[in-house]
Amino acid sequence: MSAAQNIGLKTRLRRSLRRDPGLFFMPVLLIISLAITVAIHPQFSDFDLQSLAMGALPLAFAAAAQAVVVISGGIDLSIGSAMAVANVLAASAMEKASFPQSLFLAVAILIAGAAIGALNGLIVIVSRIPDVVATLTSGFIWGGVALVILEKPGGGAPQEFLNLGTGTLFTTWIPNALVLLAVAVGAIWIPLRRSKLGLQLYAIGSDRIAAFRSGVNINRTRFAAYVFSGLFSAVGGLGLTMTTGIGAPLAGVYYTLSGLAAVVVGGVSLAGGRGGMLGPVLAAFVLTLIPTDLIFLNIDPNFGQVIQGTLIVVIVMVGGFVEMERHRK
């Protein structure tokens, strides 16, 4: 490889790191986290991997839902409630359904999730209320809807449907939850990221005024971000049904802030315009491993929230320092 090619490669890597830092450091952090888990628990088996994948599945989709909006310069605090609506809808409607019927219902729930995102987008755009206030309010509304649909945990789904999130593929070391996550995120995000709309999401997140002057329809792009957020939230709600086997109207409360935490840890800038999808998804696994490791160490798993918070503070501080240094240069 020539010197010019080396310089070109380094330049591309540097640009990629600036655009999506999580693409590089999150795989390393996940490997380190898994190594720590195996060191703490040498008997780590295929069953433990399945448990990890099942536990991280809903959180990974919550992170994906949040990442789309944050990249566009917004925030969505209704994700957990939207997941709860999808979860209780699935558990209520599928309890006595056949497997083919449950697949049809799943598609309908995905459409409902996108509709929830569309309503959130309309509220934000039409009312011009800050995203935080608008989505926090809509989160309360969707949380109430979930309680109306299913007052307490219950319902169910056909075993074949549950196996989509709890079974394995080919070998016990390939959990279906991992396959489902890779297929769903890849099928939605990769085409979006490479499309004109994907570029516009990053553009309005980086500099809304400059994007407007370049001909980007700001409101339409923000609206699309919330639609995709609602779609990812619905997939997360279905994943919650698959992994738990029931509907729980209050289960989504955990995923709103935890999803946001995964986005931050995964290298997506809260200012918008920077980051990707791989980082937040892998961060969901890292955050899921923390309480697991604490259990293996006979430490109260609730202490995991302290570790998560500390990790977020450190990453935000380091990211801020790097950003300051970049602007200084």
Q: Measuring CA to CA, which residue among 187, 181, 224, 203 is closest to residue 68?
A: 224
Does the residue 174 lie in any domain? yes
Does the residue 144 lie in any domain? yes
Question: How is residue 188 written in tokens?
Answer: 């939605």
Query: How sure is the predictor about 3, in pLDDT bands with cuts at 50, 70 and 90?
Result: low
Out of 76-85, 149-158, 264-273, 303-312, least confident range: 303-312
Percent of the chain with pLDDT over 70: 90
Within 10 angstroms of residue 314's Cβ, the number of other Cβ atoms is 11
Does the residue 20 lie in any domain? no
Supply the CATH number for residue 253's domain: 1.10.3470
Sign of CA dihedral 237, 239, 240, 242: positive
What digits encode the pLDDT tens for the residues 244-291?
Answer: 999 999 988 889 989 998 998 898 988 888 889 999 999 999 999 988
- Which whole-number Å values give the CA distances from 114 to 83, 111, 234, in the listed order? 11, 5, 8
Out of 168-172, 188-192, 224-228, least confident range: 168-172
Does the residue 74 lie in any domain? yes
Query: For the purposes of burial, counting CB atoms within 10 Å of the CB of 317, is it exposed (0-12), middle (13-18) or buried (19 or more)?
Result: exposed
Is the separation of the CB atoms in 58 and 240 below 8 Å?
A: yes
- Is the model more confident about 14 or about 116? 116
For residue 3, give the 3-state DSSP assignment. helix
Within 10 angstroms of residue 141's Cβ, the number of other Cβ atoms is 16
Does the residue 21 lie in any domain? no
pLDDT at 270: 86
Q: At which residue do the structure tokens 């394995």 appear?
A: 168
Query: For the purposes of burial, counting CB atoms within 10 Å of the CB of 118, is it exposed (0-12), middle (13-18) or buried (19 or more)?
Result: middle
Q: Tally the domains of the chain.
A: 1
- Structural domain of residue 209, as residue ranges? 51-296
Mean pLDDT throughout 204-224?
94
Distance (Å, whole) CA 67 – CA 267: 10
DSSP state of 187: H
Does the residue 320 lie in any domain? no
Query: How sure is the predictor about 6, in pLDDT bands with cuts at 50, 70 and 90?
Result: low
- Is the model more confident about 14 or about 54? 54
Does the residue 13 lie in any domain? no
Does the residue 326 lie in any domain? no
